[in-house]
A and B are shown apart, each in its own frame.
Chain A
Amino acid sequence: MIFLARRLVFYFAAFVLAITFNFLIPRLMPGSPSDRIIASFQGRLSESQVAAIRRSYGFDGNLWEQYITYVQSVFRLDFGISTVQFPEPTAALLFYGAQWTLVLVGLAIFLAFFIGSFMGIHAAWNRGGFFDSFFTPINVMMNAFTPAIVALLLFYAFSLQLKWFPLGRAHDPNLMQNWFDLKFVGSVLYHATLPVLSILLVSFGGWHLGMRNVMINLLNEDFVVLARAKGLSENRIKYRYVARNAILPQITSLALSIGFMLGGALVVEQVFNYPGLGKFTFTAIGARDYSFIQGQLLLLTCSVLVANLVSDIANVMLDPRLRGR
């Protein structure tokens, strides 16, 4: 429990550091949302209006007062108003973007996890076989093909040329959002196919290799030898004994990936015009939409910290050696 207490202290410190950082970022970035608003009117604003707009989008008070106000608003979960999607509350936009990011990145992570892990199990069990010596390097190499390239090529081939898949959006705009409508869910999956594939193709190799390497180390452990000696079936040993133990470190990594999930998949969302958080954040940074940037960074930091905490707790529960420390 001392271990967990220490971690909690760390998380609190990291949280304070993170919100301080979030607070400072807009104040360090050059430019302000008013510049973009003024420029968008292309000379149709009078001098006095320009001055008034600059005033109403600036920061008031000294830095310390601003900081206190900001911290209070964080704890009230008040993220302010987005200036890009004016006058939408940032919280509503974050929620909207988050749901599509969860669909896109969530699907990609889970598919990559399952496909990669199964391939890893298979590769480790037949180490040195054709599958292992051919697919292990190939899959891992695909990890080094950036999503930018894969997305670009998939988009060009299947969306622009063959027109098998749509050019953007998260679902058919003619369908109203209703998660209980199969037609709507189908449309969501159809629109997510290529973006998910772009992430999946460059990420399952990591799970493959991770699973394989842990499995191989476990194959020599006593309990495997014992299971063999008992004459248990190969499949039983493979899945019930070895894979089951090997998956534990994988699940820790999975928790961390889920934590980072809300960062969105910027490049993929950009190429496929997918309305996820990455794309919103990118637009917000360009437009100096401070409330959105702050809100998104806060959301992301919190989800990463929570995921870390969950994986810590899981580790303590699963690994008795950590409990006493």
Chain B
Amino acid sequence: MSDLTHTQPFALRAESASEFASRAPDHVELMRELGVRPRPGWTSRLPPGLASFVTNGKGMAGVVILLVLVLMSAFAPLLSDYNPNRRAGKPHVQPGYEHVLGTTRLGKDVFTQLVYGGRVSLGVGLGAGAFAAVIGLALGISAGYFGGRVDDIITFFVNVVLVLPGLPLIIVIATMVEAASPMVIGLVLALTGWGWSARTIRTQTLSLRTREFVTSAELLGERKWRIILVEIFPNMLSFFVGGLVLGTIAAILAEAALEFIGLGDPNAVTWGTMLFWAQNNLALQSGAWWEVWPPCIAIMLTGAALVLINFAVDEITNPQLKASRKIGRIKRFLTRRGRGADVF
């Protein structure tokens, strides 16, 4: 997953595209043939980065899915009157009017557990992802910008974190604390998960440091923290978001896996512990599919949504990677016009 972010600057295609466009005889006809709709007005008023995100179908699909999951979790108390920790009915009641998604072997309401569980799973995942991304950003920029001794020391730690055996280490740490609550798991994941984003951001900062706008800011006597915040940080935003998204995926999956194998706190209601209980009480073998599928689907949907968002971020960082059907149309269009489509 570390290969998701790419760094090569891109200029060539944009130029050639505008060249073709200017030669086109009839703008409206061209747009129709290409299937391009005129940009809706409101997106053009957004900052360009955000605008390209909003117009990115994949990214928006991901955002919508994630938003639905987040809202369902946030408004859990409105969606269900049951207590996720208490028995709400008989064991293994089928989905129905009383229990939308049925009950678990212990008689807890699955839907209630799902929405309340989302609070913890999403919260811990996003929290750990954000924490790791912030550490990565801070260390990556510091190493890249200050260089020298600072860079040496930070790079050493980055490399150590990168070679640490992740999961076994997390298991050991989880057993050292008394109960591996979701918070603890999240913290451990954050503290061990910042290596890649630190490395990527350091590389990016190194290449930015010598650019004219940074040099000129330095010559103007700007303070270092201002240069970092105002000149460098905005350019790191997409890498930061990429790191955040990937870190969140990793944290959500790792938390679920740890809880699934029984290292979490089974008191906590999360998607991972729901799976743990379903597996332990042999839900599948007893035919209670409704105890297994909801947490599975929730985890998979979250993962899918985040991956879609990451796609969008990647495509904005590096528009060449865009895999829209439009490119296929442009290719066909160009071929019809007797031009080679090699540039793509």
- Which residues of B are at the interface with A, using a C-beta cutoff of 8 A? 1-4, 6, 8, 12-13, 58, 156, 159-160, 163, 165-169, 171-172, 175-176, 178, 249, 253, 256-257, 260-261, 275, 279, 284-285, 292, 296, 299-300, 302-304, 306-308, 311, 314, 318, 320-328, 330-331, 342-344
Q: How many residues of A contact B (CB 8 A)?
A: 64
B304 in complex: contacting residue of A128, A141, A267, A308, CB < 8 Å? A141
Q: Which of chain B's residues has its CB closest to A149's CB?
A: B296
- Contact of A146 with B308 at beta-carbon distance under 8 Å, contacts A128-B325, A216-B320 already known: no
10 additional contacts (CB under 8 A) given A141-B303, A266-B171, A297-B165: A14-B163, A25-B172, A30-B178, A143-B1, A146-B299, A148-B256, A152-B279, A281-B168, A285-B171, A297-B168
Check A10–B165 contact: CB distance below 8 A.
no
Check A267–B260 contact: CB distance below 8 A.
yes
Which residues of A from 252 to 293 have beta carbons under 8 Å from B? 253, 259-260, 263, 266-267, 270, 278, 281-282, 285-286, 293
**A-B CB contact pairs (8 Å), 27 listed:** A10-B159, A13-B156, A25-B172, A28-B176, A30-B175, A30-B176, A128-B323, A128-B326, A128-B330, A128-B331, A133-B328, A137-B58, A140-B307, A141-B303, A146-B257, A148-B260, A149-B300, A206-B1, A206-B3, A214-B3, A216-B320, A249-B3, A250-B3, A259-B163, A266-B168, A281-B168, A305-B163
A156 to B285, CA, bound (A): 8
Check A296–B168 contact: CB distance below 8 A.
yes
Check A133–B308 contact: CB distance below 8 A.
no
Q: Mark A185-219, 1 if CB is under 8 A from B, else 0.
A: 00000000000000000000010011011101101
A281 to B172, CA, bound (A): 10
Is the C-beta of A153 less than 8 angstroms from some C-beta in chain B?
yes
- Contact of A293 with B257 at beta-carbon distance under 8 Å, contacts A260-B165, A263-B165 already known: no
Is the C-beta of A144 less than 8 angstroms from some C-beta in chain B?
yes
Is the C-beta of A169 less than 8 angstroms from some C-beta in chain B?
no
Interface of B is mostly: helix
Is the C-beta of A81 less than 8 angstroms from some C-beta in chain B?
no
Distance of A125 from chain B, by nearest CB (Å): 10
Check A266–B167 contact: CB distance below 8 A.
yes
Which of A147, A152, A259 has the most chain B CB atoms inside 10 A of its CB? Answer: A152
- Contact of A123 with B323 at beta-carbon distance under 8 Å, contacts A13-B156, A282-B171, A308-B163 already known: yes
Distance of A157 from chain B, by nearest CB (Å): 9
Is the C-beta of A310 less than 8 angstroms from some C-beta in chain B?
no
Check A127–B344 contact: CB distance below 8 A.
yes
Check B6–A213 contact: CB distance below 8 A.
yes
Check B1–A301 contact: CB distance below 8 A.
no
A212 to B256, CA, bound (A): 29
| Residues in A neighbouring B168, C-beta threshold 8 A | 263, 266, 278, 281, 296-297, 300
| Residues in B neighbouring A286, C-beta threshold 8 A | 175
Check A144–B304 contact: CB distance below 8 A.
yes
Check B176–A148 contact: CB distance below 8 A.
no
Which residues of A from 106 to 132 have beta carbons under 8 Å from B? 123, 127-130, 132
A153 to B284, CA, bound (A): 9
Check A10–B156 contact: CB distance below 8 A.
yes
B167 in complex: contacting residue of A225, A249, A263, CB < 8 Å? A263
